[in-house]
Amino acid sequence: MSSTDGAGEQLAFIRETVRKAKPRAARGVELADRLPVARVLVDKGVLSLDQFFDYAVPAAMADEARPGVRVRVRFGGRVGASGRREGGALHDGFVVERRETSDYAGPLAPLARVLSSEQVLTPELLRLCRAVADRYAGSLADVLQLAIPPRHAGAEGEPSPRPLPPPSVPEPGGWARYPHGPAFLSSLAAGHAPRAVWTALPGPGWPEEIARAVAATLASGRGALVVLPDGRSVARVDEALTALLGSGRHAVLAADAGPQERYRRWLAVSRGSVQAAIGTRAAMFAPVRRLGLVVVWSDGDSSHSDLNAPYPHVREVALLRAAEEGAGALIGGVATTVEAAQLVRSGWARPLAAERETVRALAPRVRTVTDLDQARDAAAQAARLPSVAWETAREALTRGPVLIQVPRRGYVPSLACGRCRTPARCRACGGPLQAGGADAPLECAWCGTAETDWHCVECGSFKLRAQVVGARRTAEELGRAFPRVPVRTSGRESVLASVPDAPALVISTPGAEPVAEGAGYAAALLLDGWALLGRPDLRAGEEALRRWLTAAALVRPVGEGGAVVVVAEPTARAVQALVRWDPAGHAGVELDEREQLRFPPVSRMASVTGSAAAVADLLGLLRLPEGADVLGPVPVPAVGGKGEETERALIRVAPGQGAALAAALKAGQIARMALRTGDPVRIRIDPVDIG
DNA sequence: AGCACGCCGACT
DNA sequence: GTCGGCGTGCTC
């Protein structure tokens, strides 16, 4: 050991001792005399080192720089030749903690500014965001960006209203239709944290039931959070809550309010001025005080998956919150997801479902037909409807509106063999063929190769058919088939909230079905079911059933003449589950199958996507937990559409090792970034499009 | 990510 | 001898 090293160590030791005794800031700043160190989360996204930095608290900010406030700090500057700190760009950050000392051996830069004295990052919110970041192999800064809306100074200036006293315990209302419903409510009202998977009865009662669960929770002096998949369902629960509790006890956190109004409402929740929050997926992080219940409606809806890194899912965040904050949980909808079924099977939640006979009385009558059963009637043929569907619609139109669900919007369909329905694929690359235009040859949607001589690879037929006919064309054709009936359409571009209780054809894509005022639809036709079921996706059956049940739940009960016709293969499991109206049973069987195949949610999966070299590089770096499987990598169509060769590998671990998998992926990602080798890799926990 | 420090080639 | 290549590592 050289003498220089010894001296260096000694110097470091002395500096350390000085540090612990009293933190020292860059020259010329007078420090706060109590807790002069602020631990700060610097909001610099791709600063992949997901860690806190210590700053000195100037005396002038001693009171304001409380934990949870937004601050501005200099970051990344250099110590120049003069020994003075210079440069360093200003960044936003949050004070996470005030401390007496710092672990950092070096002069601390002072906080540049306290932006606001609002303590937006509460300890519970920080813990939640940390847990979400860990679960999804993401950074805390990314999650905070999803969790805390942008600041609007104007909103902070106004005081939030005084909180109203807790409401009285609500009557069970519609919950009386469920054997354990009243007990669930009274458990909430008594301050407990019951956890339930809810199989909601068909019909319009669910918003009010959610409102009663919220009211029961508020009655216990705690707060509640409800997350719904879209603005229309938020509006319905808002209405039900207002009817039950008046206004002033809940805030609606939906995207349609402007940013300032959104922040104002968020602050009202954060300050404890209102006890309940409802909204779409961003509301999953709402900082409700003393959370007693978290509700997720229709957890199978794909809009519960966040679109921003690290792509948290509302249901998973809700489960984390229930666990961390000791809250009850109500997860469910008209359909049941495999994940929800697993919560029941594992004993984490209890089923909240009605008796069979209640279900049978409230559900419509469901019949299946195959579309080989074509109608004789000329008008029915023009509408491409099987005769049973045609007859059902014709009869029901004398009594009220008829809902017609078509699986995808758009006019130009993809193509399949007219005889056996094998999808028409490009001979060059396997991509889907599409009609190039009026009288133009077929061409590939991926590579553009023209196909002039198509025949089916399975059966040799030369006949093509439109695999999916969109809402608009269906509307035109049905309009001709039922000449004197009004036709309305509801789809992605223009979604109707409701239709009047009068004869009309209502053509809708899944998820956009209007509610029929009054008793509900007289009938629903669910068309092109084979196209929904034929998707090469692990969730095809579950997803088809969820869409059908959601539409069919808007139809009158069988006793009031409600009828549903689904055009699909009658032996398919999802079709039979619809006929029996047994979503929980279907989810249970799907879960058995996933168990055997070790597919999610019976395992935890992650996908790793990028160039072949980058994926191989990351896979080589990973220190995966014991027993992890790596599936692939295999080529996948490039995301950007350009020719870059993209590959994807799936990594699968046992359910208990999800945290270890996420940690390994994050470590690997950070290592690659530090080495700066090659191009980026996208990591996704719980990838959606597997299978 | 920026941005500075550092250790090797062509120019005055 | 010096200017500058961008490879590597740190940022409180």
Residue A436 confidence (pLDDT): 59
Query: Has this prediction a pTM greater than 0.95?
Result: no
* Cβ–Cβ < 8 Å for A96, A52: yes
Residue with tokens 């939906």: A254
Give the H/E segment covering residue A608: strand A604-611
CB-strand contact A80/B, under 7 Å: yes
CA–C1' distance A512–C12 (Å)?
Answer: 51
CB-strand contact A85/C, under 7 Å: yes
Which residue is nearest nucleotide C8, judged by alpha carbon to C1' distance?
A675
Residue A494 confidence (pLDDT): 86
pLDDT digits (tens, 9 = 90+) for A52-77: 999 999 999 999 999 999 999 998 76
Q: Which domains does chain A have, with CATH numbers?
A: 23-118 (no CATH), 173-359 (3.40.50.300), 363-593 (3.40.50), 604-685 (3.30.70)
CB-strand contact A19/C, under 7 Å: no
**Which of chain B's bases lie under 7 Å from a protein CB?**
1-5
CA–C1' distance A621–C6 (Å)?
Answer: 26
Residue A259: Cβ within 10 Å count: 13
Average pLDDT over residues A89-97: 91
CA–C1' distance A172–B7 (Å)?
Answer: 78
CB-strand contact A670/B, under 7 Å: no
Half-sphere exposure of residue A111: CA atoms within 13 angstroms, side-chain side: 32
Q: Categorize the per-residue pLDDT at A441 as very low, low, confident or very high, splitting at 50, 70 and 90.
A: confident
DSSP class of residue A615 equals: H
CA–C1' distance A477–C4 (Å)?
Answer: 73
* Cβ–Cβ < 8 Å for A442, A415: yes
Average pLDDT over residues A183-209: 98
Average pLDDT over residues A510-518: 93
Degrees to nearest 5, angle at CA A261 with A258 and A265 = 135
Residue A4 confidence (pLDDT): 34
Query: Strands A563-567 and A523-526, how do they pair?
Result: parallel
CB-strand contact A642/B, under 7 Å: no
* Cβ–Cβ < 8 Å for A404, A525: yes
Give the H/E segment covering residue A658: helix A658-675
Average pLDDT over residues A337-354: 98
DSSP string covering A545-578, please? HHHHHHHHTTBPPGGGT-EEEEES-TTSHHHHHH
Query: Of A162-166, A298-302, A483-487, where does mean pLDDT reach its minimum?
Result: A483-487
CB-strand contact A35/B, under 7 Å: no
Spatial distance between the Cα atoms of A270 and A263, rounded to a whole number of angstroms: 10
Beta-bridge partners for A366:
A564
Q: Which nucleotide is nearest to A111 (CA to C1')?
A: C12
3-state secondary structure of A263: helix
Amino acid at A186: S
Q: Which nucleotide is nearest to A48 (CA to C1')?
A: B1
Residue A183 confidence (pLDDT): 98
Residues annotated in a binding site of A for Zn(2+): 417, 420, 426, 429, 444, 447, 456, 459
Average pLDDT over residues A566-586: 94
Residue with tokens 């934990």: A67
pLDDT digits (tens, 9 = 90+) for A3-38: 333 333 333 333 333 344 456 665 567 899 999 999
Closest CA to A288 of A366, A217, A363: A217
CB-strand contact A78/B, under 7 Å: yes
CB-strand contact A673/B, under 7 Å: yes
